[in-house]
Structure 1
Amino acid sequence: MILHPRPSPIAAAMYQLRDVGVDAIILHGPAGCCFRTARLLELDGVRVFTSAMDENDFIFGAMDKLRRTIEEVIEYLKEHKNDGNYMIGIVGTCASMIIGEDIWSVVDEYDATLIPVEVHSGLNDNTIGAINAMESCLKLGLIDEKEFERQKYMLKKATEIEKKRGMAKSKYIKPTYEDDLKDVIELFKNNMNKNPKVACVLNAKKETAYLFAHPLIKINEIFNNCINIGNLDENIGLKKIREDAKNILREFKVDYITGGLDEYPVTGEKAVEILKEIKPDIVVVSGVPHALPIEELKEEVDCITIGVSDGPRLYYPIKEYYDYAVIELDAHAKVLGKREVVKSRFGEILEYALK
């Protein structure tokens, strides 16, 4: 049992549909359901609508409302998208799924590709929402069996990492807005003239890499002897994921590629194997540092380790494995809609503190 709030499977389904390339998403539920996620996805160019179910609909159903909403969305897309190829996600919510709304029944009624995803917030792990979205895409022929199995495996591994080493541990994690930033700055100052071998590891989740690459770029400007590792394979993942990797590689040049941007739950293991070979003095892991079995490296190599991640509940989990932890806030919100590296708090402070 997880005692602190966790992301919703509904939100995970919405982000997964964004990666598939939908033009719009209809939330079949109350107008306020997943409001923050809807707002953020608008920044990424996905138009989010709602069927706005109310108390009366909870009793009598709202399929007529859903159909009217689909018609409105298609009309909207006709006005704003001229190619006539409309892809629309229809995402269930607690309200519509509990009363048994059949959102698949509308698939063949309209001149558009509709992707129904049966999902609600009681599915426990948030990644189940993303898996359900992939199951719908497989059923509709939008992805093949091989890609579905890869996606499913990665999403399950992501949950496994969070439950074992991250924010989904079965205990309450107190949020903190403090970190080891001052200590890391002092560490860097003391090592600037010693020419240490610094390993910069990007192990980031999807588009958050636009922000988590930034401090590594700045570290490369500070130290001459940097080796860069990243999960930036531009040939792996859905279209948006591949394009994001390609965009980041224009600004963050890597010596080793560990996998794709959606493979962060497993690329950490490959990163550690590379680190064992190069034997760095300082290791900075940015993105999802707790996905690296960094303790295996420290058993073989005497090095200083720094983990950089997002969210006030990750400081303590990271400190279980790393010497220092630096926390970025609202990383996800800062990168939506971006197609180039975004300035990070850590990177900006490095730039000014170590000139």
Structure 2
Amino acid sequence: MIIHPRPSPIAAAMYQLRDIGVDAIIIHGPSGCCFRTARLLELDGVRVFTSNIDENAIVFGASENLKEVLDYAVEYLKNKLNKEKPLIGIVGTCVSMIIGENLEEFANYEKATVIPVEVHSGFGDNTVGAIKAMESALKLGIIDEDEFKRQKYLLKKATEIEKSRGMAKREYIKPTYEDDTEEVINLLKSMKNKDTKIACVLNAKKETAYLFVHPLIVLNKYFNCVNIANLDENKGLKKIRNDAKNILKRFTPDYITGGLDEYPITGEKVVEILNNLDDIDLIVVSGVPHALPIENLKKDIIKIAISDGPRTYYPIKELYDYAIVEFDAHAKVLGKRDIVKSRFGEILEHELK
């Protein structure tokens, strides 16, 4: 049983709707539900509204609240963004599901294409919310069966990785705001003039790649690097493909392992490539390093991991020699369409030049 805070299925549904391409999301719940997620998605161009369920609506029902805010959202999108028939996601919350609100009845709303997602935080794994969003999109014909099956498989694999190797593998993981930055900087400075060959691996989740590729770009300036990345621009939903295309303008991989949404399954391919490389002195994996079965590496090479969040340090430290943590990486990349400077990358640039 996991007893430290984990992402919510409601939030996962909202991010998945963003990837599908909705113009707006309505949270059918109290105004405070998923406040941080809502504010972050606003940075990414998605307008987020709430039906503002209060005590009165809990007792007497909240359908009128939802109808009112849906009408308002349509008019807002029409007047402000010139959207004649917008694509709108409606996401359930604990409150709306407990009182028995039926979101499906709004799927036939005439003024907009509505994707209802009946979800609450008690479903368990956060990826359940994303899968439910994809199920609704499939019913409406917004995605096809092949893409649905692909997305569902990847989301389940992501959960599997977190439960077996990441932040969901223990009852409680203490957050830490310290890492091995100073040790890694000193190591790289000592190796700078030795014709060091580094395998730079980007295995990042979706838009976080805008930040996690930055330290690898810096390393390429000062070392002989072989670049491996999940930057297949032909895989995933439109936004995912466009993010890959944007990053490829600034970073050139020698090997491409998959798409930006395929980070849970690209690890084995990365290790296979690493095992076939000669004369590698150092490996740096940035993004979701615990998705790599790095223990299957046949060579005794120094391994450095760069990841997100204060609870990732201990899980990745069990797999790698050094662990670097980027704080609030996801918040920093939302709304961005170009490389975002990372904390570690900026330190590297300052210390290595």
TM-score range, shorter chain: over 0.9
Q: Is the 8 A contact 1:204 1:288 kept in 2?
A: yes
Q: Is the 8 A contact 2:4 2:173 kept in 1?
A: yes
Q: Is the 8 A contact 2:230 2:256 kept in 1?
A: yes
- State the match for 1:141 in structure 2: 141
Report the Cα distance in structure 1 between the residues aligned to 2:107 and 2:317, rounded to whole angstroms.
48
Residues 1:263 and 2:266 aligned together: no
Report the Cα distance in structure 2 between the residues aligned to 1:115 and 1:83, rounded to whole angstroms.
16
Listed as ranges, the matches of 1:96-175 within 5 Å are 96-175=96-175
- State the match for 1:193 in structure 2: 193
Write the deviation string for residues 47-83 of structure 1: whole angstroms up to 9, x where unpaired: 0000000111112110011001100000000112225
Write the deviation string for residues 187-226 of structure 1: whole angstroms up to 9, x where unpaired: 1011111112200000000000000000000000110x20
After TM superposition, give the deviation of residue 106 of structure 1 in Å. Answer: 1.4
Letter in 2 for 1:340: D
- Which of 313, 324, 327 is 2:325 aligned to? 327
SS at match of 1:278: coil
SS at match of 1:134: helix
Letter in 2 for 1:334: K
- State the match for 2:344 in structure 1: 346
SS at match of 1:30: coil
Report the Cα distance in structure 2 between the residues aligned to 1:210 and 1:98, rounded to whole angstroms.
39
Say which is worse superposed, 99-108 or 229-238, in terms of deviation.
99-108
After TM superposition, give the deviation of residue 281 of structure 1 in Å. Answer: 1.4
Write the deviation string for residues 283-314 of structure 1: whole angstroms up to 9, x where unpaired: 000000000011111xx112110000000000
- State the match for 1:8 in structure 2: 8
* Unmatched tracts of structure 2, length 5 or more: none
- Which of 310, 313, 317 is 1:312 aligned to? 310
Q: Size of the alignment, in residue pairs?
A: 352
Letter in 1 for 2:330: H
Write the deviation string for residues 9-59 of structure 1: whole angstroms up to 9, x where unpaired: 000000000000000000000000000000000000000000000111112
SS at match of 2:311: coil
Report the Cα distance in structure 1 between the residues aligned to 2:97 and 2:80, rounded to whole angstroms.
31
Q: Is the 8 A contact 2:27 2:50 kept in 1?
A: yes
- State the match for 2:43 in structure 1: 43
After TM superposition, give the deviation of residue 85 of structure 1 in Å. Answer: 3.5
Listed as ranges, the matches of 1:20-59 within 5 Å are 20-59=20-59
Residues 1:73 and 2:73 aligned together: yes
RMSD: 0.8
Q: Is the 8 A contact 1:285 1:307 kept in 2?
A: yes
* Unmatched tracts of structure 1, length 5 or more: none
Say which is worse superposed, 43-52 or 59-68, in terms of deviation.
59-68
Q: Is the 8 A contact 1:281 1:302 kept in 2?
A: no
Relative to the length of structure 1, the TM-score reads 0.98
Q: Is the 8 A contact 2:77 2:83 kept in 1?
A: no
Q: Is the 8 A contact 1:222 1:354 kept in 2?
A: yes
After TM superposition, give the deviation of residue 109 of structure 1 in Å. Answer: 2.6
Letter in 2 for 1:2: I
SS at match of 1:122: helix
Say which is worse superposed, 277-286 or 86-95, in terms of deviation.
277-286
Report the Cα distance in structure 2 between the residues aligned to 1:85 and 1:232, rounded to whole angstroms.
33
Listed as ranges, the matches of 1:232-271 within 5 Å are 232-271=231-270
Report the Cα distance in structure 2 between the residues aligned to 1:329 and 1:193, rounded to whole angstroms.
30
Letter in 1 for 2:259: G
Write the deviation string for residues 236-276 of structure 1: whole angstroms up to 9, x where unpaired: 00110000000001011111100000000001111111001
- State the match for 2:271 in structure 1: 272
Identity %: 71
Letter in 2 for 1:310: D
- State the match for 2:300 in structure 1: 302
